[in-house]
Structure 1
């Protein structure tokens, strides 16, 4: 039940943004065993004045940087998360062509009882 928020600089075409969705969904299916159809993702675009980054941690980023924040159940192993990071960078490199240096991923974990996916119910508690 991942919930994904993606942030990038404004100006990319719809096909580029859709490729990000598709690549992330594939990476999650392959590494986190996300069920088919489990696609809860948003993209926020920011003008240059509202999008900042730096070269911290020895990474030479560009204006094509994409911030990806994934909230998941707190049941994923460190190995699964590492596989997710690798596969995400690989797939985004293929489509839409984002350099690995420009793929910034953050995974947030939440207990199952903290989720309601509709009808005001705690489906996983």
Structure 2
């Protein structure tokens, strides 16, 4: 279950946030086989003086519309899968939310089941291959 944090410029419309979230989610579902019901994306806004970045880092011209996507998930995806995932996220954000590919930063954090509890205070390692029964 990936957990995603997405930072967007202050004042980003709710509908655009939803398009960004859905673009990221669809890339995860298609790119790494994540189940469709595993949507967990915390969106935060940053304002002037809250996020500083080099607009020309690595030869890429960035705007004031920079989007930061941080994905935390269980380790085990190949570099090729990650490369394809990053491309799909960027493609989806450009096509659905008019975000320039130059303005998409993506960071991956990997860990193990022992680093998670996703409900009821249960150690995720104990339920790694099970579903809850609260529904």
Structure 1: segments with no counterpart, 5+ residues: none
- The CA RMSD over aligned residues, in Å, is 1.0
SS across alignment from 2:17: helix
Shift of residue 34, structure 1, vs aligned partner? 0.5
Runs of 4+ with deviation above 3 angstroms: none
Q: How many residues of Structure 1 are paired with residues of Structure 2 in the alignment?
A: 125
Q: Which residue of 1 aligns with 2:21?
A: 21
| TM-score, scaled relative to structure 1 | 0.96
- The structure that has the greater radius of gyration is 2
Gaps in structure 2 of 5+ consecutive residues: 127-135
TM norm structure 2: 0.89
SS at match of 1:18: helix
Deviations 1:21-75 (A, max 9, x none): 1100000001111102100111110111112211211111111110110001011
Task: Tell me the CA shift for residue 123 of structure 1.
Answer: 2.5
**1:95 partner SS:** helix
